[in-house]
Chains A and B, each alone.
Chain A
Amino acid sequence: MQLEYSIEGGDFSHAGFASSQVKRVLKQLNVDPKLIKRVVVCLYEAEVNVVAHAYSGIIHVLINTNEIVMKLADKGPGIPDISLAMQKGYSTASDKVREMGFGAGMGLPNIQHNADDFKISSNVGEGTNLEITIKL
């Protein structure tokens, strides 16, 4: 099964909509709730990152019998130093993002913690790509 969602940068009122939809689908498929939580925490953190930092983004979620693969591709400023961005506590988030309860430099490390496999690549001035895999 493949799902696709688009994300608009800066639109905090809809941040989390895609993660919510994916959670519903996984519940309907009777996936273990602990695995669902790991999937949606990863996806929600990634979704919030796109809303917080990029201009727009696309989410592809591929659900098959042995794994769930989430790919997020955004158009945005990109990340100049990925190893720095992966450090807990490092963030370039705006005050607006912080007012929403995010921007504490926890998102990417939390995705890595919950994922079985996590790939990130970025081109400055173009955007960032994430691939998050959780095994079922």
Chain B
Amino acid sequence: MKIREVADIVQGVVLSADDMLDHEVEFAFASDLMSDVLTIPTEKLVLITGLSNIQTVRTAEMADVQCVVVVRNKKVTNEMVELANENHIVIIECSSSMFKTSGLLYQNGIKPIY
């Protein structure tokens, strides 16, 4: 699935790295714990998280995550957007819960990693 479809499905707002919207993603992982995200070797991964701070973007950068969906209406800071643009990471802000967001993406074919 293309990242732009992820944004449509979760009815989210794309805040960074527009140039990456046609990149494909296949899996998703939902967590507020960045240490857990750093244990995942999977590629083409969407991170669904309610943690909205600079370390969310740093973690995505280190873990090669190209798309982060920030749920529960948490606000993304300008500093996060700037860092995400530098690293070609798409941040999508969305007002749904983590459960609903995960369910919608699963229903549309995004796979769990385990």
Give the size range of B's interface with the partner: 20 to 34
Q: How many residues of A contact B (CB 8 A)?
A: 25
Across-interface contacts of A99 in B (CB, < 8 A)? 53
Residues of A within 8 Å of B62, CB to CB, are 16, 19-20, 23, 37, 40-41, 44
Give the CA-CA distance A12 to B56 in the complex, in Å: 12
| Interface of chain A residues 76 through 120 with chain B (CB within 8 A) | 99-104, 106-107, 110, 113
Cα A13 to Cα B56 in complex, Å, equals 11
Bound CA–CA A100/B54 (angstroms)? 8
- Bound-state Cα–Cα, A40 to B63, Å: 8
- The answer to whether A104 touches B36 (Cβ under 8 A) is yes
User: In the assembled complex, which residues on chain B have CB atoms less than 8 Å from the CB atom of A16?
Assistant: 54-55, 58-59, 61-62
Cα distance A101–B60 when bound, in Å? 12
- Are A104 and B33 CB-contacts (below 8 A) given A44-B38, A44-B58, A113-B39? yes
Count: A-B pairs, CB below 8 Å: 70
Interface of A is mostly: helix
**Which residue of A15, A33, A103 is within 8 Å of B58 (Cβ)?**
A15
CA distance A131 to B41 in the complex (A): 22
* B interface, CB within 8 angstroms of A: 32-36, 38-39, 41, 51, 53-56, 58-59, 61-64, 79, 87
* Sample of 18 more A-B contacts, CB < 8 Å, known A16-B61, A16-B62: A12-B53, A13-B54, A16-B58, A20-B58, A33-B64, A44-B58, A44-B59, A101-B34, A101-B35, A101-B53, A101-B55, A101-B56, A102-B55, A103-B35, A104-B36, A106-B33, A106-B39, A107-B35
Residues of A participating in the B interface, judged by any CB pair closer than 8 Å? 12-13, 15-16, 19-20, 23, 33-34, 37, 40-41, 44-45, 48, 99-104, 106-107, 110, 113
